[in-house]
Structure 1
Amino acid sequence: MNTVTRPRILVVGAGFAGVECVRRLERKLNTDEADVALVTPFSYQLYLPLLPQVASGVLTPQSIAVSLRRSSKYRTRIIPGGAIGVDIKAKVCVIRTINDEIVNEPYDYIVLSPGSITRTFDIPGLTDHAFGMKTLAEAAYIRDHVITQLDLADASDDPAEKASRLQFVVVGGGYAGTETAACLQKLTHAAVKRYPRIDPGLIKWHLIDIAPKLMPELGDKLGKSAQEILTRRGIDISLGVSIAKAGPEEVTFTDGRVVPTRTLIWTAGVVASPLIATLGAETIRGRLAVTADMNLPGHDGVFALGDSGAVPDEAKGGDGAICPPTAQHAMRQGKVVADNVIATLRNQPLKPYVHKDLGLVVDLGGKDAVSKPLGIELRGLPAQFAARGYHWAALRTNVAKVRVATNWTLNALAGDDFVRTGFQARKPATLKDFEYTDSYLSPEQVRDQVEGAGTQEP
């Protein structure tokens, strides 16, 4: 008896790109045309741009974690774990499951969208003492941590301890860092009114970046407007400055200043997932060098996109520019790459990814925002309306939209309760504890794993 095996499509990563790809594959593929599997350690899609609002308590964590299991009509098999290596010659993906087993998953077509990790540098004490803002757990942890600093400062009679607990440092003047500093400053500004023993003047937020401008992608005028808003709110902005050394109770800036602090938040950019390095293929600034149709040259059936693929930006005339790793591009790339996987299955021509950037939105908390939709510069409430309107529309499910809208409304009307959960109060967690960067294999280890263990039968 002959058994016909359907082609196996493996999608790695449940970010914007991966989820859009999977959902389109499900809609456009016939049920008997291929099997689709999705590798992800968490069965939800995280809406990353709203993480600062989770950290500041404007939104609850659940509201931006869109479940992948909510609907019963989806047929994709979810593999709970993380891809730690890919052998593109053997067509095998090595996966570490959530129960810490290592399995080999064979595929016929693979879509690589494992996202990115926080970019760090060889700065003494950085990974031991800095917090990131890349995962839902980090955002929830930072909220607890910041409120804890207020509680501990209120309980302390030591001026030096109060000073270190009430100063906060955010490194990174891009969107993530700027929004994080802005939203958390709003949180502490409102919360300190409930702490009569704390002098509000002791609370200081520092936002630093090695670049000469804040959010240069916004342009000079809007970038300057954002800087003026934050400065007016009391945030100390230092440009052309970074971290020289980080300790448990102080941070040393590269200009020589020493700031007493127990809170260092590092948002100085991202790099592609270490998974990409396991392929041994050509990269551009850490991202796989793919064609405009997101295919890896010389390897039919291997696609990369989002943070992991250096996709040529055809909308800029093919001048060597690559698409920035933004949610806007990732969502649209996910749909195009799904179409290209199907086209490969059906021996049809692939189509290139072309999308002109629709603009940028930056939510600075409360009524403050700067936005540039379709090239139109907005400030204040119009910008806030554009920012939140864009994020709300981009949420994938109606349930998520209702939750986010409800959270925004409740926060606007009732404010925050400044509650810390205490879930991780006894367990410090910094950059090195959240992103598992030591879990990935080397290309040689991938090859040994694949050759030594064989592959799992579908």
Structure 2
Amino acid sequence: MSTTRILIVGGGFAGLECAHRLERRLTAGEAEITMVSDQNHQLYLPLLPQVAAGKLTAQSIAVPLRRMLRRTTLVPGSAIGVDAGAKAVVVRTIDEQLRTLHYDYLVLAPGSVTRKFDIPGVAEHAIGMKTLAEAAYLRDHVIAQLDLAAAAGDNPEERAARLQFVVVGGGYAGTETVAYLHRLTTRAAKRYPGLDAREIRCHLVDLAPKLMPELGEKLGAKALRVLERRGVEISLGVSVAAATRDSVTLTDGRTLPCRTLVWTAGVAPSPLIATLDAETEQGRLVTGANLSVSGLDRVYALGDAASVPDLASGSSAVCAPTAQHATRQGKAAAMNLIAEMRGFPASDYRHKDLGLVVDLGGPQAVAKPLGIPLSGIAAQTVTSAYHLMALRTLTARYRAVGGWLLNALAGDDYVRIGLQAGREASLDDFERTDGYLSPDQLRELTNRPALVPDGVENRTGETTGADS
């Protein structure tokens, strides 16, 4: 009997959990597992603002895939097209080569990308918060603005622009980012004899009428009051009309002098989904309750890129694109894939959300575990405990606790390491959203002999060739 080829696209919460469960439940002789991921780690996104602020190191929130996966072959690159008819996925590796990987079973968990909208200047001048590189770059960039502001001398316009920081997006990511950005800048200002923390302006902008409406009116209002008491300026019902290198224009007509625009205004499913001939809902692949994609043979979809029925809600809703659902969907997809391999019936995915946590920095947080509203130190305790529980390895938990303790005892050092020195980085520098294939291109590539220089398919069903 030939070994079953299982291909997993994406190494995030969903993809990693699926591969890990498959390794535990299948023998090496039953299946060959291959994962396509442009990163060699699983990133714990909720703690990215703490990396940007210097409270944690990058290693604290990035779990190496090879620490978790022992038998899975890792292909470093991005899937840019899926030909379900040929049971093949075209991958662009990190050295810009093309590979075609063939599969018997496909698990799609490519995640999401930052939603940019079509606003002039945003793609060129905004910084995202979806990757470790973006968090590290943001920290470097902010410290550079403080250095330059302190040296601006008698140029008040430049000084004001460098000391104003605008975050767009009033969801969890944006709220936590502005909280930690304010913490970083006001603490760092104490090290600069020429700077006064009162000169620093942190601004949170969101088109929604309320901050974090998912938390409920009471907790959302509490978070707003905490941030405003610290000095964060919050504009609700307002969005960005345009951005330039040194200013941000809002839809209410105001123009803010600003050299730092952080974009956390939502996410969109990976562009990979658009290459499939399958039903989508708001860009996400529609699946059955068992996570299989209707109309595609032996294909499962999960995480941010999948529209999965939320059976636990008792309504027609779909599962929110959260780490909680992605992690549990990864395990459920693995078990259903194994059941299909062995001829057993699949099970429906069902998980009731455990609640929400939002870290506002220091002792402040708001949380809603199991529907119970909390704020202050109690919420911060729950928030920290939840993050530790969600980190996938003991090593990551030790690093997180160690980082928190060291930061509390010794404080921070504001070191600028020169990332992207000499030029600004754009959203597209960190999240590549171009180069995906059309159906015609896919059919050509998956059937083109030129992609197999030696004419021999390797043990994982892979064909390789240079990108032309």
TM-score normalised by structure 2 residue count: 0.95
2:394 corresponds in structure 1 to 398
Structure-1 separation of matches of 2:206 and 2:445? 42
Name which of 32, 45, 51 aligns with 1:35: 32
2:298 corresponds in structure 1 to 301
Structure-2 separation of matches of 1:413 and 1:197? 26
Are positions 1:279 and 2:287 aligned together? no
Q: Secondary structure at the match of 1:69?
A: helix
2:371 corresponds in structure 1 to 375
Larger deviation, residues 41-50 vs 231-240: 41-50
Structure-2 separation of matches of 1:42 and 1:124? 30
2:19 corresponds in structure 1 to 22
2:52 corresponds in structure 1 to 55
Contact 2:278 2:296 in 1 (8 A): no
Contact 2:278 2:295 in 1 (8 A): no
Are positions 1:434 and 2:460 aligned together? no
For this pair of structures, how many residues does the alignment match? 453
Are positions 1:240 and 2:237 aligned together? yes
1:193 corresponds in structure 2 to 190
**Structure 1 unaligned runs (5+)?**
none
Name which of 343, 347, 356 aligns with 2:343: 347
- Show the 5 A alignment for 1:57-136: 57-70=54-67, 74-136=70-132
Q: Percent identity?
A: 60
Are positions 1:410 and 2:406 aligned together? yes
Deviation at 1:359, TM superposition (A): 0.3
Q: Secondary structure at the match of 1:390?
A: helix
Deviation string 1:315-337 (CA, Å, 9 cap, x unpaired) is 112x3200000001100110000
Deviation string 1:216-273 (CA, Å, 9 cap, x unpaired) is 0000000000000000000000000000010000000000000000000010000100
Deviation at 1:421, TM superposition (A): 1.4
1:335 corresponds in structure 2 to 331
**What residue identity is the alignment partner of 2:129?**
M
**What residue identity is the alignment partner of 1:173?**
G
Name which of 212, 220, 223 aligns with 2:217: 220
Kindly tell me: are residues 392 and 139 of structure 1, through their superposed partners in 2, closer, same or farther at Cα, counting changes over 3 Å?
A: same
Q: Secondary structure at the match of 1:194?
A: coil
Name which of 46, 49, 65 aligns with 2:43: 46
2:151 corresponds in structure 1 to 155
Deviation at 1:442, TM superposition (A): 2.0
Deviation at 1:356, TM superposition (A): 0.5
Q: Secondary structure at the match of 1:30?
A: coil
TM-score normalised by structure 1 residue count: 0.97
Structure-1 separation of matches of 2:186 and 2:317? 42
Contact 1:277 1:443 in 2 (8 A): no
Structure-2 separation of matches of 1:26 and 1:200? 52
Structure-2 separation of matches of 1:434 and 1:31? 36
Name which of 438, 446, 453 aligns with 1:450: 446
**What residue identity is the alignment partner of 1:260?**
P
Structure-2 separation of matches of 1:436 and 1:43? 16
Contact 1:117 1:270 in 2 (8 A): yes
- Show the 5 A alignment for 1:245-260: 245-260=242-257
**What residue identity is the alignment partner of 2:424?**
P
Contact 1:84 1:94 in 2 (8 A): yes
2:311 corresponds in structure 1 to 314
**Structure 2 unaligned runs (5+)?**
461-468
Deviation at 1:443, TM superposition (A): 2.3
